[in-house]
Structure 1
């Protein structure tokens, strides 16, 4: 676009904002919406535009650009469509809208998003979402509704094919018993899904639901006195909230029922937590299958360290804690925390280090989830000879630093309970740009202390 024309358009848009007139959606989007409205299988189309913060101030107090805005197109699918027809209509609509969105000149500073809505279904997509992903998501949504779901929501990010970013379905059902059929449908579709019904929540951590686990969770929710049943796939744990008072027979009966199930094994353990009416908790293992302890020794036939049951626990001053070099592979980063025994005698460690990730201002990153690298694994007690080291491996998915976010420049490591935190420099040259891409909202998996050879 010629510079003069761009200036005039910006000035006109700013004047409209100052005058209280809100610009409507771009003509390209309006035209595409009309074409979508005429497609078979589409009942209606609604286009709305919302604005962000006030325009940026330029030199001499003049407004230098229009406010960023979002144009949202809601495509309502006709009733009585089968999954294939609904997917075809949504795919055709998405292609038209995506093409129009790409044609919108940057003068508008517009983000275009689409929602495909059916009876109980909402699929959100951006202009760069692959059309096949929209088709698959809508078809899967209709299949999940047919299996007994009352609502299905999916938010599709940018991606190609049928497995884009954030393609986990959020599925609700009217009754807990309906979740088994819904889980079977999700498993057959190979669709990642979070499931919910009154008093029951299955948190899949972005995985395809395990039907047997859903069946066990629903059965547990139906036990006497159980008010709420939740499964967390990240922890492989069922948590049951009851209305029973402490010491009630029903609590003992519930624990016995869980431990009598023919379900879990030591190789695939499933933990449980039972809460009484006062939120006091009792923990154990479904089927009585407690996991085997992790091995403190590395693979490869190295000579084992002596196992001295009388060795004292290491204290904070006994350990020299350092941070290793970051390694990357297939969208995952890893770094090790190493603790060397400098006490002059053997001492023992067990468990995982406590971690706090801080930005350059010394503030903790927000909403960082730290979880076991292998849920259900019982960390071994490791007797560390003087001068030897143990390590704990940290893993996380790569995160975008394109917009210069606050990277993690310091990791506060508490190697053992009761020790003072040790601040470790997480940069390679002291600058924030070389810090760890553990940002707000990150999920970090932490392994137990193991031999550091």
Structure 2
């Protein structure tokens, strides 16, 4: 009796053990070639488990191809990066060699490692290393395991996360030394660095330093520039302090733009770290077009006055989404006079009222040099802007109030096209690039010169 009871207990324990050891990874609801490959992969040394999802809904059942086979291969945590890379390469080759008669297959192979954690999605586990293999599985897994074993708390196709700032900087140095170019970030995404080509430690470091400033919420470096988001209000002293820090910080090895946003992104301030501009933005004296002789310089020439200058416009011109207009200042004073600086322009709607928040901004590529305008000659200032949609019938510019220089009395100028008044697609909120007064500008003809359709002079409104 006791012997039979002992046998029954042992049998029951065997059943319990079998249940405990059984894993859903052992199931295979797929055609035989897929299941065979899955079994072989699962028996590879250092493979902890393997699973394949044969997604018929992606192909056969809908009458389209291919059918997606999603493979998930869990590797031993303690593998060296090279061992993991070798297995990933073999797994990739085996899965892509699977053939099911009459069915086109598409394979998605995921490599996972580490202790799984439950996610907010029922039945879905998250692994600290989860990589979808691409065209270079050996290289991809070698890098992923290297980053993970060097302190990354998460590694996936999007990049790697480090648990804190110190670990992030250490991981960055490791990646830089090995020529890796991953996106690196903190788990909450408040610091993130995405290389734009080579991995540059100074770019991650400036993001880390920016995040350390008071009232900075996030600091993200990507596409070659730094984006900082402030938790302090627009126009506040705290936001001003952040901007001063960016403007006064030591420049990086190459000019680097930044943007500074406030809560709700109500305002976005822009600048260059340390105030260092790239070469193409450093204003230089205008270069005269070929064949144009410089006007004589006369230090004693008086400044031009409103009554001594006659203003006019070219016809508007357009090309590839951009708009162009030239403003002319003809010296009618009877003697040479000088101009230096920018005209002052107000954009007026059909009611003759200034448009809301439509303004000019100085062109960055040319400096405002003093020019002496001979009698009868035309100085030129150029306007450039991007095309704006008028489909919703917004206010458009129908006239410009123009003063030769700030502080002088403006006059009203009406744009003309083929001698008919024309509106400009300069809408509320527009920003129009404006050059200083120059002797001449490349591609911009003056009244009386041989012109294209877009450079004929307009009319001076009464």
TM-score where L is the length of structure 1: 0.54
CA contact (8 A) 1:240 1:273 kept: yes
CA contact (8 A) 1:25 1:71 kept: no
Give secondary structure in 2 for the equivalent of 1:145. Answer: helix
Q: Does 1:269 align with 2:267?
A: no
Matches within 5 A, 1:373-412: 380=365
The answer for the alignment partner of 1:8 in structure 2 is: none
Matches within 5 A, 1:270-285: 270-275=257-262, 279-285=266-272
CA contact (8 A) 2:207 2:220 kept: yes
The answer for the alignment partner of 2:166 in structure 1 is: 177
Matches within 5 A, 1:202-351: 202-204=192-194, 207-234=197-224, 236-242=225-231, 244-264=232-252, 267-275=254-262, 279-294=266-281, 303=290, 318-321=316-319
The answer for the alignment partner of 1:394 in structure 2 is: none
Structure possessing the higher radius of gyration over alpha carbons: 2
CA deviation string 1:59-80 (max 9, x = no partner)? xxxx9x4664211111100121
Give secondary structure in 2 for the equivalent of 1:193. Answer: coil
Deviation at 1:313, TM superposition (A): 11
* Segment of structure 1 superposing worse, 286-295 or 35-44: 286-295
CA deviation string 1:149-196 (max 9, x = no partner)? 111112xxxxxxxxxxxxxx5212222332212222222232222222
Give secondary structure in 2 for the equivalent of 1:114. Answer: strand
- Rounded to whole Å, the distance in 1 between the matches of 2:313 and 2:230 is 37
Give secondary structure in 2 for the equivalent of 1:174. Answer: coil
CA contact (8 A) 2:183 2:193 kept: yes
CA contact (8 A) 1:186 1:208 kept: no
CA contact (8 A) 1:123 1:134 kept: no
Give secondary structure in 1 for the equivalent of 2:183. Answer: strand
Deviation at 1:55, TM superposition (A): 6.3
**Match among 153, 156, 180 for residue 153 of structure 1:** 156
CA contact (8 A) 1:68 1:110 kept: yes
Deviation at 1:224, TM superposition (A): 1.7
CA contact (8 A) 1:221 1:227 kept: yes
**Match among 144, 150, 158 for residue 147 of structure 2:** 144
**Match among 112, 128, 153 for residue 117 of structure 1:** 112
CA contact (8 A) 2:191 2:208 kept: no
CA contact (8 A) 1:194 1:206 kept: no
User: What is the alpha-carbon root mean square deviation over aligned residues?
Assistant: 4.8
Q: Does 1:51 align with 2:56?
A: yes
- Rounded to whole Å, the distance in 2 between the matches of 1:320 and 1:225 is 44
The answer for the alignment partner of 2:385 in structure 1 is: 416
The answer for the alignment partner of 1:412 in structure 2 is: none
Deviation at 1:140, TM superposition (A): 0.7
CA contact (8 A) 1:320 1:340 kept: yes
Deviation at 1:214, TM superposition (A): 0.7
CA contact (8 A) 1:36 1:45 kept: yes
CA contact (8 A) 1:273 1:282 kept: yes
Matches within 5 A, 1:97-108: 97-100=95-98, 103-105=99-101, 107-108=102-103
Deviation at 1:344, TM superposition (A): 10
Deviation at 1:146, TM superposition (A): 2.5
CA contact (8 A) 2:283 2:365 kept: yes
Deviation at 1:35, TM superposition (A): 1.5
CA deviation string 1:220-273 (max 9, x = no partner)? 112222222222225x1332322x2345443333233223322336x5233241
Q: Does 1:28 align with 2:36?
A: no
The answer for the alignment partner of 2:44 in structure 1 is: 39
Deviation at 1:26, TM superposition (A): 3.2
Aligned residues: 303
Structure 2 residue runs without a partner (length 5+): 1-27, 115-127, 296-303, 330-362, 369-377, 392-434, 436-440, 445-462
Give secondary structure in 1 for the equivalent of 2:72. Answer: strand
- Rounded to whole Å, the distance in 2 between the matches of 1:338 and 1:245 is 35
**Match among 74, 88, 112 for residue 72 of structure 2:** 74
Deviation at 1:141, TM superposition (A): 0.8
TM-score where L is the length of structure 2: 0.53
CA deviation string 1:10-39 (max 9, x = no partner)? xxxxxxxxxxxxx94332222222111121
Q: Does 1:83 align with 2:73?
A: no
Q: Residues 208 and 307 (structure 1 numbering): CA distance in 2 closer, same or farther, change over 3 Å? A: farther
Q: Residues 289 and 206 (structure 1 numbering): CA distance in 2 closer, same or farther, change over 3 Å? A: closer
Give secondary structure in 1 for the equivalent of 2:54. Answer: strand
